Amino acid sequence: MAYEAPDFFDIDSLLTEDERMIRDAVRSWVSERVVPIIADHYMAGTFPDELIPEMAELGLLGAGIEGYGCAGLGAVAYGLILQELERGDSGLRSFASVQGSLAMWPIRAFGSEEQKQHWLPRMNSGEAIGCFGLTEPDHGSDPGGMETKAVKKGDKYILNGTKMWITNASMAHVAVVWAKLEGRVRGFLVEKGTPGFSAQQMKNKYSLRASDTSELIMQDAEVPEGNLLPGVDGLKGPLNCLSQARSGIAWGVAGAAMACFDEALQYGLTRRQFGKPIAQFQLQQAKLAETLTEITKMQLMNLRLGRMKEEGRATPQQVSMAKRNACFHALEIARRCRDMLGANGITSEYQVMRHMCNLESVKTYEGTHDIHTLILGHAITGLDGFR
Ligand code: TGC
Ligand code: FAD
């Protein structure tokens, strides 16, 4: 049966024809190419890298990047792409977010012309994969405390340190690594094969199993001086990248929630207990009503945020509100929908539990729920609640 997305407030009518066309193309591709295979990849703990050339062909990798052969789409079109990808699986959306917003975006925003020419076309075509190394074993929510260091030696930088929980890292051709140079946070393009640099896949995850999560180890890694990102200095470098990616997450998790809603609704209409479809019972209807309401609120906030981003006036705090709200409610929705499928909800025959497990990570990465609460608390009161 063709997937029918919930759109209770006719949000379609607020999109341009191009935006609807792009969304529908990705929606069909996800239904045809992702949904049939993703559960097997999830159970096996593998990323479906066979889909990378198709994503590149559809223009999904550098969709939000201007120039260098990339599509340069607006924030709403880009958000809709991520929504559709995450309807398939958060791992697929993570792959695209990291490639586009956390690896290509800093090269576009902070790179030299030579770095842009070298990497962006290859990353857009899927020939080169990127990752983003900010988090360390002892510094997650407080990246400003990072211990990875760079020291200038002749025409090279020598990097030492460990980055943890890095999406796409084992398959990446280039890692955007954030390290302190003379006490200031700087970005370095560390290429696969660099002496002293390696990636180690992290196994045993219950969440985001169809995603490559790895540790990056730098032991006297020798990075050519031309691989420093010249255009930014300080923690605002990586935090600016996060503002790009966090808004994409707000759109993405709406897609995961939409998938769960659809599955719970179809299940409720066909599963019979006490002589009736369970969707006829008031308790089930209350759960569906709550779910559709929260999805609609997410869709409206995402659209407004996207339009403000396109006008160049979305603030990081508005991005935090959208990321925090969408992740919280998407996870609640996935848990509720899992419950609505009874025992079947725990199997890989259905999507709900896979989305639920994924969303635990998505609520945690790119700033935990608590961190975004404190960002909003700071915006409201003017008082820093972090320290
Ligand atoms: P703070 O003093 O507040 O800020 C330092 C400088 O950065 C500026 N800034 C931002 N700029 C752009 N966007 C933002 N969102 C920004 N937030 C802050 C700020 O104005 C300042 O600039 P300047 O010019 O004065 O130097 O820094 P802090 O040390 O107090 O930390 C603030 C805090 C806690 C909010 C921040 O560090 C934070 O967001 N922590 C959470 C860490 C995080 O999100 N890590 C994500 C790692 S990447 C990841 O998870 C990828 S998952 C990808 C996937 O698979 O999809
Ligand atoms: P901690 O910072 O140790 O937090 C633990 C708990 O303490 C949380 O509940 C947190 O909210 C709370 N806490 C922390 N500080 C405060 C405070 N001041 N007040 C109140 N509560 C507080 N990172 C990358 O750099 N690149 C990636 O590609 C990447 N991909 C990831 C993929 C996955 C699957 C996962 C799970 C993580 C990924 N991350 C990545 C790391 C992610 O960004 C961090 O896990 C996240 O920022 C939280 O850091 P932490 O895990 O060290 O938790």
Mean per-residue pLDDT for 99-119? 98
For domain 11-124, is the CATH number 3.10.50.30?
no
177-228 pLDDT per residue, tens = 999 999 999 999 999 999 999 999 999 999 999 999 999 999 999 999 999 9
Nearest to 97 by CA among 69, 128, 60, 126: 60
pLDDT of residue 234: 98
Please give the model's pTM, rounded to 2 decimal places: 0.98
- Contact between residue 152 and residue 181 where contact means Cβ atoms under 8 Å apart: yes
Burial of 281 (0-12, 13-18, 19+ CB in 10 A): middle
Closest ligand 2 atom to 133 CA: 25
Contacts for 50-53: CB closer than 8 Å, 24+ residues apart: 51/92, 52/95, 52/126, 52/129, 53/126
| pLDDT classification of 122: cutoffs 50, 70, 90 | very high
Share of the chain above pLDDT 70, in %: 100
pLDDT of residue 29: 98
Fold exhibited by the domain 130-227: Butyryl-CoA Dehydrogenase, subunit A; domain 2 (2.40.110)
Q: Do the domains spanning 130-227 and 236-381 agree at the CATH topology level?
A: no
For domain 236-381, is the CATH number 1.20.140.10?
yes
Cα(99)–Cα(105) distance, rounded to whole angstroms?
A: 8
pLDDT of residue 323: 98
- With tokens 């609609």, the residue in question is 296
| pLDDT classification of 2: cutoffs 50, 70, 90 | confident
CB under 8 Å to 26, separation ≥6 — which residues? 58, 60, 80, 81, 84, 85
Domain extent listing, the chain = 11-124, 130-227, 236-381
Q: Does ligand 1 come within 6 angstroms of the Cβ of 375?
A: yes
* Catalytic site includes residue 50: no
Minimum-distance ligand to the CA of 93? 1
Ligand 1: centre distance to CA 213 (Å): 21
75-97 pLDDT per residue, tens = 999 999 999 999 999 999 999 99
What amino acid is encoded at 22 in this protein?
I
303-357 pLDDT per residue, tens = 999 999 999 999 999 999 999 999 999 999 999 999 999 999 999 999 999 999 9
Count CB atoms within 10 A of the CB of residue 9. 13
* Ligand 1, atom 35: closest residue by C-alpha: 375
pLDDT of residue 49: 96
Q: Does ligand 2 come within 6 angstroms of the Cβ of 148?
A: no
Q: Look over the chain and give the mean of its residue pLDDT values, rounded to a whole number.
A: 98
Cα(365)–Cα(293) distance, rounded to whole angstroms?
A: 25
